Copies of this chain bind each other. A is one copy, B any other.
Amino acid sequence: MGCFNSVVVDAPVNRVWGALRNFHDMSWAADEVECEPVGAYAGNQIGAKRIINGTFYETLVGLDDQARIMRYRIDVGTDSASKDNVQEFVGEIRAVPITEDNTTLVVWTTSWEPSTGAVAEPGDAVYQAMLSELQRSFD
């Protein structure tokens, strides 16, 4: 199962990717997300850790400055994202240049396996809200 959300951001791809690529800084979605870095790794170091809104423990598993892709894993979540409901959660954020007007498509995909409990559905609305905030931050 998974989500697929995407928005056009009105800024060149290098500026947008520059904001997205730091795993420890989600200030581009500050209205939706409190991002607390944890551990010794920097935000561009594979294995870096953060806690989102006090409940989701996430690890950076992939970062590619050439393809402009970030991949992360939720290790522990609560409520709808708890291990009873969701497993092997992986998220991916990707930035694609739009050459016609030098803007950027940002694509956020997530996938997970439902567990034996009731199936939780981290909804598109959550990702769309964060992407909309990213969009506004470049207006």
Contact = CB atoms under 8 A, between A and B. Distances in A.
A96 B98 CA distance: 12
Nearest to A59: B65
Contacts of A73: 66
A50 B2 CA distance: 28
User: Interface residues of A: mostly helix, strand, loop or mixed?
Assistant: strand
A1 interface: yes
A21 B97 CA distance: 22
Interface residues on A, range: 35 or more
Contact of A6 (B7, B42, B97): B97
Contacts of A42: 45
B105 A98 contact: yes
Interface of A: 1, 4-8, 21, 41-42, 44-47, 61-67, 69, 71, 73, 90, 96-100, 105, 107, 113-114, 124, 128, 131-132, 135
Given A6-B97, A66-B73, A114-B114, 8 more contacts: A4-B97, A6-B100, A46-B46, A62-B63, A62-B64, A63-B63, A64-B71, A96-B107
- Sort A-B residue pairs by CB-CB distance and give the 4 closest, nearest first: A62-B64, A45-B45, A7-B100, A44-B46
